[in-house]
Structure 1
Amino acid sequence: MTDDESKKTAPRYLGQDSALPESPETAELDYVPNPRVGELYLTRFAAPEFTSLCPVTGQPDFAHLVIDYAPGETIVESKSLKLFLGSFRNHAAFHEDCTVGIGKRLFDEMQPKWLRIGGYWYPRGGIPIDVFWQSGEPPKGLWIPDQGVASYRGRG
């Protein structure tokens, strides 16, 4: 078995005490074989408490991320994804960089049939920012529900 194959079959974090990685660059994502390879279906991860840091002020930024993907030969192991997303807690980057970077890394490494990410960022300076990225056209016949995150309305 090659190193690439072992990364896709032997989760490193599952069932283990695991500290948050120091940065998104050092975080390692685990992928396991898709138990329904050949089936067209959608998997959704919602991270309603995602945090990162503003690269200018160093203040915390908060977002509700929704990641949808149609698996190919592998799926991402959820604990490794949680640790990867948590590694942004002390990472300074703009909303666009965080959102698109997460989507592209998952797509490039996991190689799903299709992936999209919605980053619904809470207001900074009175302006909420929503960032969306997808890998291309979704496969024909894939049921894609609405991401279910309402536009920001504040208290009104």
Structure 2
Amino acid sequence: MANDIYSGLTQLGSATRLPQNPEEAVLERVENPQKGTAYVVRFTAPEFTSLCPMTGQPDFAHLVIDYVPGDWLVESKSLKLFLGSFRNHGAFHEDCTVSVGKRLVDLLQPQWLRIGGYWYPRGGIPIDVFYQTGPLPEGVWLPDQGVPPYRGRG
């Protein structure tokens, strides 16, 4: 039965509360039904938020996550809840962006992953953070992340 690959999911299709922090968040994965085919999966989170660890003020980012799956795909509701768990989490932009990327790499063991964290300015300075696991596999088409350099993004 095709749905067998979804049988272990615990969050999709049920009411699930937003985790209080990234450590509490449960990221789930499903078997890649297109295993052996090199393709890119993109998630865009234009309203990512976290807290400044020094002031407690909110920080806002536009995250773009691209990955070439291996055996696993991330289940999107669990990713949404994981990203939302940063809402009350105090960490600098660099830590948030790279932590998201590394957590996905640990879970999925993708052929390749990159994340772009395009942070809105605080104190007049936008900070953009990029993490990538290595070179893109040959023959994979990868579009630009589509987020322009800061000039009043929105």
| Per-residue deviation, residues 100-155 of structure 1 (Å, max 9, x unmatched) | 00001101111010000000000000000000000111111111110000111128
Deviations 1:7-64 (A, max 9, x none): x861111100010011100101000000100000000000000000000100000000
TM-score scaled by length of structure 2: 0.94
The alignment yields a C-alpha RMSD, in angstroms, of: 1.4
Residue aligning to 1:33: 31
> What 5-or-longer segments of structure 2 have no aligned partner?
1-5
Aligned to 1:24: 22
Tell me which of 116, 119, 134 is aligned to 1:118.
116
State the TM-score, normalized to the length of structure 1. Answer: 0.93
5+ residue gaps, structure 1: 1-7
Q: Where does residue 75 of structure 1 map in the other structure?
A: 73
How many corresponding residue pairs? Answer: 149
Partner residue of 2:142 out of 134, 141, 144: 144
AA in 1 matched with 2:103: R
Distance in 2 separating the partners of 1:58 and 1:125: 14
Match in the other structure for 1:132: 130
Identical aligned pairs, as a percentage?
Answer: 70
Distance 2:152 2:41 in 1: 30
Give the ranges of 4+ consecutive aligned residues of structure 1 lying more than 6 Å apart after TM superposition: none
Distance (Å, rounded) in 1 between the aligned partners of 2:29 and 2:150: 34
